[in-house]
């Protein structure tokens, strides 16, 4: 039998979540009765009444590397393996508005995603894939207006009904200033492009999700779960207000806003995070005038935590990804990407990507956690953790509102400073062995070099350069010049840019040419 002294020592030991929320030894009661159903305000228990009993989440594996041809092969492989949605990763030059032949693209073409210079590349990327029959998510922000225009142009060439095209552009520029860095233009001009997309798609692509407000990259930069929720929802609130200022009806466009969250290893905190986020967004939208329940719902995609993957003992990452995927499903995600175990070393190999997809399929079909809605609902621990995480996130939102909103908070460096502070604390805890990372600071072992990683050859840039040279020789350059001038003129006038950008990409204007046109008008953002 344990001595009273030992029991007292254990009682005094402090346990906290990754966000610093205290964890009690045991939870004996609920703070409030859990009476609400899933599918009803405030949607704590899920956005649909039956959740996965009726339809599983979309298994959307993030992929893209090297050339459009190589990425197309990977998409066909994933579709054959049972993935139910595509998610496109673009290389760095594409993300920041440079063609592959630009000096700034040297050494980066096709490295962290696929290189897309023109509609010609987009045609190859989706060769053999009918856009009307699949949902596509594109992780693109500063140049989202161009890539969406290319997708629209390709859909037209395929003869698709634009009213039935569905998918998402990330299009969340605010988190780029706060956490990630792939911005081009100043914040206010970037917000204008975002609202141009909102307005255009509300008329032309009513089934398209016009923004995926991303907490994922905020978390990857070092934030806590509480900060991820607070900063993401604050950014979302700014997009709502910007759209309303443009005259858009919140009950219409808010239905086309989705979110993108991270899933880390602290299972119960992550589940509580997703539940709290839904509850908070429903309150934010209602307070801004949304009366349609579909406009109050927080729908989200989840990706397992890239920053949690380790180069040491990479097979351990299979376990981490499984825990994180379960957290997303238990938290009620609408779509999910599971990372490959080798992604701390390189882009995932085909084998790793296939195993990551199988992880989702095993959870979906073998674990039993999809058979009831909100299976952790009513847990004393999870319900209190949801409440406490929500309360902590509201405190951050109140601070941001007091500063003047998300745009002002970013311009003043508030979010950046908070994220940096949290990242520092976490790293310090790892280095001092206060936070255990298996295979890194405990349970280490001498390992053989991990081979079989995916490598992207630098020579692919030359291929892209040659394609660009041939493209510029065969297209109508007079028409291109006229359209580029029109883009600049409309950028100055405030007219919606999407129709003319769609027209320009249909004539095979390049991504860099269009991005540069706005650089000349808007300038570039410098920290």
Task: With respect to residue 23, please indicate whether it lies within any of the assigned structural domains.
Answer: yes
Q: Tell me, what's the pLDDT at 450? A: 59
Sorting pLDDT into bands at 50, 70 and 90, what band is 440? very high
More confident site: 476 or 445: 476
> With 0-12 CB in 10 A as exposed, 13-18 as middle and 19+ as buried, what is 312?
middle
Helix (H, G, I), strand (E, B) or coil at 451: coil
Longest dimension (CA), the chain: 88
Map tokens 């970013």 to a residue: 410
Q: Tell me, what's the pLDDT at 347? A: 86
Q: Tell me, what's the pLDDT at 151? A: 98
Task: With respect to residue 30, please indicate whether it lies within any of the assigned structural domains.
Answer: yes
Quick check: pTM over 0.75?
Answer: yes
**Contact of 139 with 170, CB cutoff 8 Å:** yes
**Contact of 301 with 260, CB cutoff 8 Å:** yes
**Cis preceding linkage at 42, omega within 30:** yes
CA distances from 96 to 104, 123, 151, 185, 246 (A): 10, 21, 18, 10, 26
Share of the chain above pLDDT 70, in %: 97
Mean pLDDT in the chain? 94
What pLDDT, in 10s, does the model give residues 223-281? 999 999 999 999 999 999 999 999 999 999 999 999 999 999 999 999 999 999 999 99
What pLDDT, in 10s, does the model give residues 283-303? 999 999 999 999 999 999 999
3-state helix, strand, coil in the chain (%, to 5): 55, 10, 40
Question: What is the C-alpha to C-alpha distance for residues 234 and 217, in angstroms, rounded to an integer?
Answer: 15
Map tokens 């063609």 to a residue: 99
What pLDDT, in 10s, does the model give residues 373-401? 999 999 999 999 999 999 999 999 999 99
Helix (H, G, I), strand (E, B) or coil at 300: strand
Q: Tell me, what's the pLDDT at 498? A: 98
In this predicted structure, the answer to whether residue 13 has a pLDDT above a threshold of 80 is no
Task: With respect to residue 358, please indicate whether it lies within any of the assigned structural domains.
Answer: no
Map tokens 């952790």 to a residue: 376
What pLDDT, in 10s, does the model give residues 94-141? 999 999 999 999 999 999 899 999 999 999 999 999 999 999 999 999
Residues 6+ apart with CB under 8 A from 359: 318, 321, 322, 325, 338
Domains held by the chain: number: 1
Task: With respect to residue 517, please indicate whether it lies within any of the assigned structural domains.
Answer: yes
Question: What is the C-alpha to C-alpha distance for residues 198 and 257, in angstroms, rounded to an integer?
Answer: 9
Question: What is the C-alpha to C-alpha distance for residues 275 and 43, in angstroms, rounded to an integer?
Answer: 8
Question: What is the C-alpha to C-alpha distance for residues 115 and 108, in angstroms, rounded to an integer?
Answer: 9
Parallel, antiparallel or unpaired: strands 300-304 and 167-169: unpaired
Q: How far is CA 465 from the centre of its chain?
A: 30
CATH code for the domain in which residue 220 is found: 3.20.20.240
Q: Tell me, what's the pLDDT at 295? A: 97
Task: With respect to residue 470, please indicate whether it lies within any of the assigned structural domains.
Answer: yes
What pLDDT, in 10s, does the model give residues 37-49? 999 999 999 999 9
What pLDDT, in 10s, does the model give residues 42-94? 999 999 999 999 999 999 988 888 899 999 999 999 999 999 999 999 999 99
In this predicted structure, the answer to whether residue 451 has a pLDDT above a threshold of 60 is no
DSSP 112: S
Can you read off the two tokens belonging to residue 242?
A: 């910007």
What pLDDT, in 10s, does the model give residues 332-356? 999 999 999 999 998 899 999 999 9
Question: What is the C-alpha to C-alpha distance for residues 354 and 82, in angstroms, rounded to an integer?
Answer: 10
DSSP 450: P
Q: Tell me, what's the pLDDT at 10? A: 57
Q: Tell me, what's the pLDDT at 5? A: 58
Parallel, antiparallel or unpaired: strands 257-263 and 58-63: unpaired
**Contact of 135 with 166, CB cutoff 8 Å:** yes
What pLDDT, in 10s, does the model give residues 207-218? 999 999 999 999
Task: With respect to residue 276, please indicate whether it lies within any of the assigned structural domains.
Answer: yes
**Contact of 63 with 353, CB cutoff 8 Å:** yes
- Residue from 447, 351, 409, 441 nearest 233 by CA: 409
Residues 6+ apart with CB under 8 A from 404: none
Task: With respect to residue 6, please indicate whether it lies within any of the assigned structural domains.
Answer: no
In this predicted structure, the answer to whether residue 29 has a pLDDT above a threshold of 60 is yes
Task: With respect to residue 1, please indicate whether it lies within any of the assigned structural domains.
Answer: no
Q: Which domain holds residue 100?
A: 14-341+374-442+449-527
CA distances from 32 to 29, 374, 386 (A): 9, 17, 12
Q: Tell me, what's the pLDDT at 423? A: 96
In this predicted structure, the answer to whether residue 21 has a pLDDT above a threshold of 70 is yes
């Amino acid at each position: 039998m344990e001595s009273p002294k030992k029991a007292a020592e254990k009682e005094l030991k402090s346990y906290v979540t990754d966000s610093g929320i205290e964890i009690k030894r045991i939870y004996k009661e609920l703070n409030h009765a859990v009476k609400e159903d899933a599918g009803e305000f405030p949607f704590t228990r899920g956005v649909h009444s039956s959740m996965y009993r009726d339809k599983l989440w979309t298994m959307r594996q993030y992929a893209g590397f090297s050339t459009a041809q190589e990425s197309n092969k990977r998409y066909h492989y994933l579709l054959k393996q049972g993935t139910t949605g595509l998610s496109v990763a673009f290389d760095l030059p594409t993300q920041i508005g440079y063609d592959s032949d630009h000096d700034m693209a040297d050494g980066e073409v096709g490295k962290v995603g696929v290189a897309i210079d023109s509609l010609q590349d987009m045609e190859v990327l989706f060769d053999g894939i009918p856009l009307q029959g699949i949902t596509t998510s594109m992780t693109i922000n500063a140049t989202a207006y161009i890539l969406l225009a290319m997708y629209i142009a390709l859909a037209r060439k395929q003869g698709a009904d634009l009213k039935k095209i569905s998918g998402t552009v990330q299009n969340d520029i605010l988190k780029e200033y706060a956490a990630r860095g792939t911005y081009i233009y100043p914040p206010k001009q970037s917000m204008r492009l975002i609202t141009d997309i909102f307005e255009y798609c509300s008329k032309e692509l009513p089934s398209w999700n016009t923004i995926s407000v991303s907490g994922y990259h905020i978390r990857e930069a070092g934030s806590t779960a509480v900060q991820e929720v607070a900063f993401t929802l604050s950014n979302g609130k700014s997009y709502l207000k910007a759209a309303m200022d443009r005259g858009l009806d919140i009950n219409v466009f808010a239905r086309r806003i989705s979110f993108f969250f991270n899933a880390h290893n602290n299972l119960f905190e992550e589940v509580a995070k997703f539940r709290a986020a839904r509850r908070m967004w429903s309150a934010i939208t209602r307070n801004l005038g949304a009366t349609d329940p579909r406009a109050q719902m927080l729908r989200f995609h989840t990706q397992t935590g890239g920053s949690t993957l380790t180069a040491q003992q990479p097979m351990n990452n299979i376990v981490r990804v499984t825990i994180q995927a379960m957290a997303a499903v238990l938290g009620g995600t609408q779509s999910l990407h599971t990372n490959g175990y080798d992604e701390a070393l390189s882009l995932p190999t085909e084998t790793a990507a296939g195993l990551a997809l199988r992880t989702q399929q095993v959870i979906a079909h073998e674990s039993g956690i999809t058979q009831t809605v909100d299976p952790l609902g009513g847990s004393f621990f999870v319900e209190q953790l949801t409440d406490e995480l929500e309360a902590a996130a509201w405190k951050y939102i109140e601070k941001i509102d007091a500063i003047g909103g998300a745009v002002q908070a970013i311009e003043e460096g508030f979010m950046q400073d908070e994220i940096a502070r949290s990242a520092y604390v976490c790293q310090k805890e790892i280095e001092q062995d206060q936070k255990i990372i298996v295979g890194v600071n405990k349970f280490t072992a001498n390992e053989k070099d991990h081979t079989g990683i995916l490598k992207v050859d630098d020579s692919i840039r030359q291929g892209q350069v040659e394609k660009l040279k041939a493209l510029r020789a065969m297209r109508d350059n007079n028409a291109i010049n006229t359209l580029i001038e029109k883009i600049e003129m409309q950028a100055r006038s405030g007219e919606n840019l999407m129709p003319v950008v769609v027209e320009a990409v249909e004539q095979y204007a390049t991504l860099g040419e269009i991005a540069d046109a706005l650089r000349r008008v808007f300038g570039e953002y410098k920290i």
